[in-house]
Amino acid sequence: MARIVKRAFKFRFYPTPEQASELARTFGCARLVYNKALEERSRAYTLEGRKVSYVQSSAALTQWKRTEELAFLNEVSSVPLQQALRHLQAAFANFFAKRAKYPTFKSRKKSRLSAEYTRSAFTYRDGRITLAKMGGPLNIVWSRPLPEGADPSTVTVSKDAAGRWFVSILCEDTIGPLDPAEGVVGIDAGITSLLVLSRPIPGLTDAAGKVANPRHERADRNRLARAQRALARTEKGSGNRAKARVKVARVHARITDRRRDHLHKLTTSIVRENQTVVIEDLTVRNMVRNHSLARAVSDASWRELRSMLEYKAAWYGRELVVVDRWFPSSRLCSACGAIQRSMPLNVRDWVCACGAAHDRDVNAAKNILAAGLAER
């Protein structure tokens, strides 16, 4: 049965100088409102033990606009400023629910530059989006069409560290489930191989069921190092330093884009080919504390891969099963069920007492699949 989901479609766009100037002012005002509201809420709680609600912050914003010092807030659309307060409210809700740390102030240099516009602050007609306070539509590169009859509810404009402008359009989309598949697969995440599957899939894995690790960060490591050395040689605060910083950001953006594109293609193929997908509950946060593995683990981006598998399985009517992180997948013989006392990371092949010869990762994938099917 088809389901309706909220889906964001992200596109590159090229603003005019006037639009870029207006958006830059909007980014700065939204950041200022967020930081000032955070300061007021922190002060009220620390000194008075009083919690400040979104409604109270919104009323304070109205008063700020009436002051001579902050009258410039009236020059930009009010909606992104209100959305900044809503984001702060959500940050506090997550903090009090112990899902996140205490909200921090946004930095002009380090924080993401973005502004969120709701329906009252933009128009969408004939495939063209015009934001409030702007005389013309955005020059968007429509790399793919929006869903038929799309009615965007939110438009988020952002600029990354590499100087690229993006617009993210949130709208409803109807996604139908895929035809039932007979395949079931267990997945063991690795570093030498990005993934090892319990069974090979033609065109996706090799004969053993292994997916090669493209190592995107390693492939561009020399280029990144040169850009970082050039940045280190520049004088702080100079124009050349700003240019060098953009060059470093472009290398990082290239690595991120290539990694995400590969993960999307990989996870889509896995979900299409299998009705049930079983993965291991990895603690990536703890793994990156190991300085010997941190760089490789981050480059593999297991957390993003799992997130993609989760929402794609939900979209397309597939089942995703997560096996407990303490399950001894590598030490368990998939043939007889015997558990080895220890299995150091440098042991890649081993022979069980029953005579079965195992590739460490393929054996782990088979055990993960068996454990997942047993939990269903």
My answer on whether 297 and 313 are in the same domain is yes
Structural domain ending residue among the three candidates 155, 175, 195: 175
Share of the chain above pLDDT 90, in %: 80
Instruction: Grade residue 132 by pLDDT with cuts at 50, 70 and 90.
Output: very high
Q: State the DSSP code for 355.
A: S
Tell me what pLDDT residue 282 has.
84
Domain with 137 in it = 3-175
My answer on whether 86 and 193 are in the same domain is no
- Cα 300 to Cα 67, 93, 98, distances in angstroms: 50, 31, 28
Helix and strand element counts for the chain (H, E): 10, 13
Structural domain ending residue among the three candidates 150, 175, 200: 175
Instruction: Grade residue 14 by pLDDT with cuts at 50, 70 and 90.
Output: very high
Instruction: Grade residue 224 by pLDDT with cuts at 50, 70 and 90.
Output: very high
My answer on whether 23 and 164 are in the same domain is yes
Tell me what pLDDT residue 216 has.
93
pTM: 0.88
Q: What is the mean pLDDT of the chain?
A: 93
Adjacent-strand bridge partners of 169: 9, 155
My answer on whether 195 and 128 are in the same domain is no
Q: What is the CATH number of the domain that holds 331?
A: 3.30.420
Active-site residue set: 188, 280, 361
Return the axis-axis angle of helices 17-48 and 78-96, rounded to nearest 10°: 40
My answer on whether 114 and 194 are in the same domain is no
The answer to whether residue 330 sits within a structural domain is yes
Determine the average pLDDT of the residues in 155-176. 95
- Give the pairing type, strands 128-131 and 183-189: unpaired
My answer on whether 153 and 61 are in the same domain is yes
CA dihedral 42, 48, 53, 59 (to 10 degrees): -90
My answer on whether 148 and 271 are in the same domain is no
d(CA 346, CA 342): 11
My answer on whether 60 and 135 are in the same domain is yes
For the stretch 239-261, pLDDT in tens is 999 999 999 999 999 999 999 99
Amino acid at 281: D
Q: What angle do CA 195, 198, 201 make, to 5 degrees?
A: 75
d(CA 297, CA 190): 9
pLDDT above 90 for 318: yes
209 neighbors 197 (Cβ within 8 angstroms): yes
My answer on whether 143 and 290 are in the same domain is no
For the stretch 264-310, pLDDT in tens is 999 999 999 999 999 999 887 777 777 878 888 888 899 999 999 99
208 neighbors 359 (Cβ within 8 angstroms): yes
The answer to whether residue 27 sits within a structural domain is yes
My answer on whether 208 and 332 are in the same domain is yes
To which H or E segment does residue 138 belong?
none
My answer on whether 35 and 156 are in the same domain is yes
The answer to whether residue 235 sits within a structural domain is no
How many domains are contained in the chain?
2
Q: How many residues does the chain have?
A: 376
Cβ within 8 Å of residue 163, ≥6 positions away: 246, 249, 250
Cβ within 8 Å of residue 207, ≥6 positions away: 200
For the stretch 90-126, pLDDT in tens is 999 999 999 999 999 999 888 889 999 999 999 999 8
The answer to whether residue 199 sits within a structural domain is yes
